[in-house]
């Protein structure tokens, strides 16, 4: 055993938090040196401690670069904080940051310092995950396209790779170092991602990891732990070379097929034992736990994922994590966002909604509410953070019904017990009733004691407590779950919930002589033998008051409308920080008290009753800055009001009626087309591990600096060829069209699973000329592969990977092009992956400010009657009212029998790739800021008909996906969106 582990073991045996110190990596050393106990962030085998206080990490994943409007980041983070999330986990994208080797750009949506500032303002910790490899369903798994051309194998300790990431890791670390807690919100930095230590796949994973960790430490990450995200609780980097300070692993028990959303997978049962052997000295940190799923091309769509991995799943699975001892978990994703531009890897399409708690248009899903109830509870149950598993099993000794599986957690020096109950299988959708034998300070009790039962619906899990402290009061037990607690004016309040109609029995020792019940009378209360005894069924809200104690019982659907914001700025969301209870609104973002006024900030989606439970000193309430008329609440506690501000759904222009201008976007097929400024493909060798299939010249687009979207090739030959054997790669569903001397030859629309397409094209006799022939190939790519196995899979080439003329001869010259400027792209705002190589993109016709006055008038709804690519432009104005958050989207009417693909550019940002026959996405949300909600918008749409019969778009509409009277940060018009004049002239 390494000395370090021994120290950690000693520390954990006596529960002394382990602080970590300055990281040094003497060659061959196992990892970190134990450091000063004054370090703000410490941990032991139970939990993380921040400033000496135990904390449950309830974290969610969000990729700022998938929402490239920094003024919307606060919206997402406030929504997360409202649901009890005290941390946000972010991937940082190397490929988007360093589009050209050596030129890093950390501005705009890539600004980590701006993100940290927003998180600090909101009061939410940040788990920074810079990779450099991130996976994340993004092109190359976050590796830059130019890395495909280096000889070294990525994710190894080979010099070429290590040199490649130096600047990125250094600049990330230097910036992040200024935001390490307590100077900023960053509490962890994750090194690499799902990095297998496996000889077969990557024999140098450990030294490669150690080099990275040294670089983080040497460049300023000195105050916060380094973490990992193991692909499985197998102990990679929990010890040995490359060891991290805090070991984490991920788990996706629901899989990634959302086509049968009502079939819920069973619970994994290996976490406890696997974690105990993988990481015996650390607490259980689920660095990524499934919070939704990505949906592949032709998948069922994200609503299926939201259903499959929705509120029931969150209920059963996340509580099972707690039953397994997890005290830190981060849900991947909590806000998914958009694969705008060419951010996606080949498996996925434009939307990265992920069926997450916060949907792509930033609206709240049903599971958001479930996560809120749990998140608030975990922060309200500090005893959980020192507890251990004290027993588990089906039926006895806990549940009277053998169909109920119980895990008991407790110990750790305090009397609180937690009983995590669930049914035996997630297949069961019918309710089951049981009693439960629990430990209390008055001995073992079989509850409920006074009639009724504990009911578990199908796919319902409950965490029931005994001897649970709230303020100076103690809940001896409750057959309803605890949502949260707060102490206001010295009075202790606990909020309990069960599904409507389920029994509730709760006992609170009290010296009071009487208990009153106000609100719903479905709950009764009495004082008997110094106990307040609360019984009944939940329906609406019942308020039980006795002495200086209040027990609120709500049915679960009503509990979903409860919010518990802290009233002072704080990362800490535990009950020691003052808070209020707010009931009713769609969202409460923030609360603060100044003198006698409670100022609330939030969102409503219609007239909403509001109840606030706040200190007695509060006499007036404002909502989004406007005062609301309050009166005493008829709940018998707090103040009530009605929020009447209505958000009108904005009226939206009809794109079908708009004036459209149009031009040919495939002029390259004309023999006379001038390609003199294009790159001449002249490489005959490549370092790429997947060498050309055939042909003298290497035609991989990445070899010539084109890493994004589509590519156009022009190959010249003389002679009498009768056809060509052509091989292309482009990822799933990539397509191509081929033309000879301007004449359409054929297309291939690709398929899911396409690695390589090999076609033989026959040249029509009348198409070949005796002199110089020019073959034009336009092809797209669905992104670079990921590199999950660390085997350079992302280097699979894009574009033409092999060619041979049939009938003799060879090409004299090959020219190619891709996105404008290649790696020297001029658009340092939208970055390297926004544009591809279609003429409409290269010429700047997709940019705002492009002069289309000389173009013909023609609409995409008429389309084209031959194979080819056409580009259409239009403008429209929006005037969404102030204070209204109205997420908007472009909705295509699908015509699956038609074979076309479209790119949708909104003010120069590519926010949709629609493939008519590969779906499933037809609705493309575009965030405010990319769409100007208060002014003019310029749209460009390409229409690539792969078939000779042509194609048209059946319909494209602008639709609103909701309308909220919102207290979110105001988005000031468009994000910086350079124009045609700035980028092309």
Residues serving a catalytic function are: 194, 288
Select 288 or 675, whichever has its Cβ closest to ligand GAL. Answer: 288
Q: Smallest distance from the beta carbon of 135 to ligand GAL, in angstroms? A: 3
Nearest-approach distance from CB 68 to ligand GAL, in angstroms: 19
Nearer to ligand GAL, 127 or 517 (CB): 127
What residues form DSSP beta bridges with 966? Answer: 603
What is the nearest approach in angstroms of ligand GAL to the Cβ of residue 287? 8
Q: Residue 737 is encoded by which pair of tokens?
A: 């069209």
> Please, what is the minimum distance in Å from the beta carbon of residue 387 to ligand GAL?
29
Would you say 236 or 564 has its CB closer to ligand GAL?
Answer: 236
Among 854, 782, 821, residue whose Cα is nearest residue 978: 821
- d(CA 985, CA 983) in angstroms, rounded, equals 6
Minimum CB separation of residue 229 from ligand GAL in Å reads: 6
What CA–CA distances, in Å, run from 604 to 362, 586, 593, 626, 842?
14, 5, 21, 14, 44
Q: Which two tokens stand for residue 733?
A: 């569903």
Closer CB to ligand GAL, 229 or 327, in the complex: 229
User: Would the CA dihedral through 213, 273, 462, 387 be positive or negative?
Assistant: negative
Enter the tokens of residue 507.
């006992």
- Closest to 365 measured CA to CA, from 313, 314, 306, 415: 306
CB of 61 to ligand GAL, least distance (A): 9
Chain centre to alpha carbon of residue 845: 32
Single out the residue of 677, 794, 815 nearest to residue 146, CA to CA. 794
User: Least distance from C-beta 193 to ligand GAL, angstroms?
Assistant: 5
Burial of 828 (0-12, 13-18, 19+ CB in 10 A): middle
719: CB partners within 8 A, 6+ apart: 805, 808, 809
The nearest distance, CB 669 to ligand GAL, in angstroms, is: 39
> Peptide bond before 448: cis, by omega within 30 degrees of 0?
yes
Residues in a beta bridge with 469: 474
Tell me: cis bond preceding 947? Omega within 30 of 0 counts: no
- Provide the minimum distance between the beta carbon of 334 and ligand GAL in the complex, in angstroms, as a whole number: 13
Our CB check for ligand GAL shows the closer of 332 and 678 to be 332
For 864-901, b/e burial (b = at least 16 CB within 10 A) is beebbbbbbbbebebebeebbbbbbbbbbebeeebbbb
- Contact between 716 and 772 (Cβ < 8 Å): yes
The residue among 920 and 962 lying less far from ligand GAL, judged by its C-beta, is 920
Q: In this structure, how many other beta carbons lie within 10 angstroms of the beta carbon of residue 547?
A: 18
Shorter beta-carbon distance to ligand GAL: residue 258 or 541: 258
Alpha helices in 332-393 (DSSP H): 366-379
Residue 858: closest CA among 667, 660, 577: 660
Q: Select from 668, 580, 645 the least CA-distant residue to 617.
A: 580
Contact yes or no for 591/562 (Cβ under 8 A): no
Contact 724, 778 (CB under 8 A): no
Phi, psi of 685 (to 5 degrees): -135, 160
Give whichever of 140 and 848 is closer to ligand GAL, judged by the CB atom.
Answer: 140
Give the list of residues 6+ apart from residue 806 with CB closer than 8 angstroms, or none.
721, 722, 723, 724, 725, 760, 762
Q: Helices 112-122 and 73-82 meet at what angle, rounded to 10? A: 40
Cβ distance to ligand GAL smaller for residue 195 or 711: 195
| Residue 674, C-beta contacts closer than 8 angstroms, at least 6 positions apart | none
Closer to ligand GAL by Cβ: residue 254 or 705: 254
What's the CA gap between 547 and 245, in Å, rounded? 47
Name the residue nearer to ligand GAL (CB basis): 193 or 537. Answer: 193
Token output for 104: 């890093």
Name the minimum Å distance from CB 445 to ligand GAL. 44
Q: What three-state secondary structure class fits 322?
A: helix
Residue 360 backbone class (left: φ over 0; alpha: ψ -120 to 50; beta: rest): alpha
Minimal distance in Å, beta carbon 235 to ligand GAL? 17
3-state DSSP assignment of residue 926: strand
List the beta bridge partners of residue 91: 129
- Report strand pairing: 597-604 vs 620-623: parallel
Which of 253, 578 has the CB closer to ligand GAL? 253
Shortest separation between residue 245's beta carbon and ligand GAL, angstroms = 19
Nearest approach in angstroms of CB 129 to ligand GAL is: 9
> For residue 15, what are its two tokens?
């529960």
Say if strands 608-613 and 639-643 run parallel, antiparallel, or are unpaired.
antiparallel
Query: What is the dihedral sign for C-alpha 153, 157, 158, 164?
Result: positive
Cα R_g (the chain), whole angstroms: 30
> What are the residues binding ligand GAL (CB under 6 A)?
134-137, 193-194, 229, 250, 288, 294, 332
Nearer to ligand GAL, 255 or 935 (CB): 255
The secondary element (H helix, E strand) that includes residue 271 is: helix 271-278
């Amino acid at each position: 055993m390494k000395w370090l582990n021994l120290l950690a073991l000693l520390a954990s045996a006596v529960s002394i938090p382990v602080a970590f110190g300055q990281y040094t990596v003497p060659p061959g050393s196992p990892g970190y040196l134990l450091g000063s106990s004054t370090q703000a962030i410490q941990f032991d085998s139970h939990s993380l401690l921040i400033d000496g206080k135990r904390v449950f990490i309830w974290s969610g994943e969000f990729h700022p670069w998938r929402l490239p409007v920094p003024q919307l980041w606060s919206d997402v983070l406030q929504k997360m904080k409202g649901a009890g999330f005290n941390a946000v986990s972010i991937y940082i994208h190397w490929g988007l940051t360093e589009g050209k080797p050596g030129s890093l750009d950390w501005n705009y949506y890539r600004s980590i310092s701006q993100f940290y500032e927003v998180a600090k303002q909101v009061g939410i910790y940040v788990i920074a995950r810079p990779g450099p490899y991130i996976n994340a369903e993004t092109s190359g798994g976050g590796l830059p396209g130019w890395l495909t051309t280096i000889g070294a194998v990525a994710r190894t300790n080979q010099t070429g790779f290590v040199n490649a990431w130096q600047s990125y890791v250094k600049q990330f670390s230097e910036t992040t170092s200024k935001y390490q807690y307590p100077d900023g919100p960053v509490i962890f930095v994750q090194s690499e991602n799902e990095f297998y230590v496996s000889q077969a796949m990557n024999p140098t994973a450990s030294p490669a990891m150690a080099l990275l960790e040294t670089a983080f430490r040497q460049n300023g990450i000195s105050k916060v732990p380094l973490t990992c995200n193991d692909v499985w609780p197998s102990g990679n980097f929990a010890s040995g070379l490359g060891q991290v300070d805090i070991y984490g692993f991920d788990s996706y028990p629901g899989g990634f097929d959302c086509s049968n959303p009502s079939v819920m997978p069973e619970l994994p049962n290996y976490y406890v034992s696997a974690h105990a052997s993988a990481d015996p000295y650390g607490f259980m940190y689920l660095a990524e736990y499934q919070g939704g799923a990505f949906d592949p091309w032709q998948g069922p769509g994200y609503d299926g994922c939201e259903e499959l991995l929705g509120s029931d799943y969150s209920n059963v699975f996340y509580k099972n994590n707690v039953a397994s001892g997890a005290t830190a978990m981060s849900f991947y994703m909590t806000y998914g966002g958009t694969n705008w531009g060419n951010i996606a890897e080949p498996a996925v399409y434009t939307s990265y909604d992920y069926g997450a708690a916060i949907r792509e248009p930033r609206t709240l899903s049903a599971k958001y509410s479930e996560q809120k109830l749990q998140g608030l509870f975990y922060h309200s149950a500090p005893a959980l953070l020192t507890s251990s598993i004290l027993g588990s099993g089906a039926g006895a000794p806990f549940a009277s019904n053998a169909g109920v599986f119980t895990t008991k957690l407790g110990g750790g020096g305090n009397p609180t017990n937690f009983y995590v109950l669930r049914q035996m299988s997630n297949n069961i959708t019918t309710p089951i009733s049981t009693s439960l034998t629990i430990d209390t300070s008055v001995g073992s009790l079989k509850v409920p004691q006074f009639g009724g039962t504990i009911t578990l619906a199908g796919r319902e899990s409950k965490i029931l407590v005994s001897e649970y402290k709230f303020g100076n009061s103690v809940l001896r037990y409750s057959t309803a779950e605890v949502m949260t607690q707060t102490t206001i004016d010295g009075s202790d309040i606990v909020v309990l919930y069960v599904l409507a109609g389920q029994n509730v029995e709760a006992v609170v020792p009290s010296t009071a002589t009487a208990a009153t019940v106000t609100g719903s009378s479905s709950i009764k209360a009495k004082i008997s033998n110094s106990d307040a005894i609360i019984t009944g069924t939940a329906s609406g809200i019942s308020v039980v008051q006795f002495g200086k104690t209040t027990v609120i019982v709500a049915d679960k659907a009503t509990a979903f409308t409860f919010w518990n914001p802290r009233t002072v700025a704080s990362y800490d969301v535990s009950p020691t920080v003052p808070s209020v209870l707010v009931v009713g609104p769609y969202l409460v973002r923030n609360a603060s008290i100044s003198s006698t006024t409670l100022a609330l900030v939030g969102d409503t989606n219609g007239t909403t009753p509001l109840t606030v439970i706040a200190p007695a000193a509060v006499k007036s309430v404002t909502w989004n800055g406007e005062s609301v008329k309050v009166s005493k609440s008829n709940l018998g506690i707090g103040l009530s009001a009605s929020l009447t501000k209505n958000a009108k759904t904005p009226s939206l222009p009809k794109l079908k009626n708009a004036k459209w201008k149009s031009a040919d976007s495939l002029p390259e097929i004309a023999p006379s087309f001038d390609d003199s400024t294009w790159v001449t493909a002249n490489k005959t060798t490549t370092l790429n591990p997947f060498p050309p299939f055939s042909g003298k010249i290497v035609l991989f687009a990445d070899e010539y600096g084109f890493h994004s979207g589509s590519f156009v090739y022009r190959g010249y030959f003389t002679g009498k060829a009768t056809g060509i054997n052509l091989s292309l790669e482009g990822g799933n569903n990539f397509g191509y069209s081929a033309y000879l001397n301007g004449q359409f030859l054929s297309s291939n629309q690709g398929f899911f699973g396409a690695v390589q397409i090999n076609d033989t094209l026959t040249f029509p006799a009348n198409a070949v000329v005796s002199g110089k022939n020019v073959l034009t190939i336009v092809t797209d790519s669905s992104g670079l592969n990921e590199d999950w196995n660390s085997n350079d899979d992302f280097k699979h080439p894009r574009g033409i990977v092999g060619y041979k003329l049939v009938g003799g001869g060879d090409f004299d010259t090959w020219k190619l092009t891709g996105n404008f400027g290649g790696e020297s792209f001029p658009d340092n705002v939208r970055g390297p992956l926004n544009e591809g190589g279609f003429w409409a993109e290269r010429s700047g016709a997709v940019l705002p400010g492009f002069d289309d006055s000389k173009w013909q008038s023609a609409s995409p709804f008429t389309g084209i009657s031959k194979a080819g690519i056409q580009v259409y432009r239009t403008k429209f104005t929006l005037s969404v009212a102030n204070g209204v958050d109205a997420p908007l989207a472009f909705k295509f009417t699908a015509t699956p029998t038609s074979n076309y693909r479209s790119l949708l550019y909104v003010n120069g940002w590519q926010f949709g790739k629609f493939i008519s026959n590969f779906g499933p996405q037809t609705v493309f949300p575009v965030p405010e800021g990319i769409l100007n909600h208060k002014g003019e918008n310029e749209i460009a749409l390409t229409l690539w008909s792969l078939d000779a019969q042509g194609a048209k778009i059946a319909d494209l509409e602008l639709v609103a996906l909701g309308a909220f009277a919102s207290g979110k940060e105001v988005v000031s018009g468009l994000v910086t969106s350079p124009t045609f004049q700035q980028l092309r002239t």
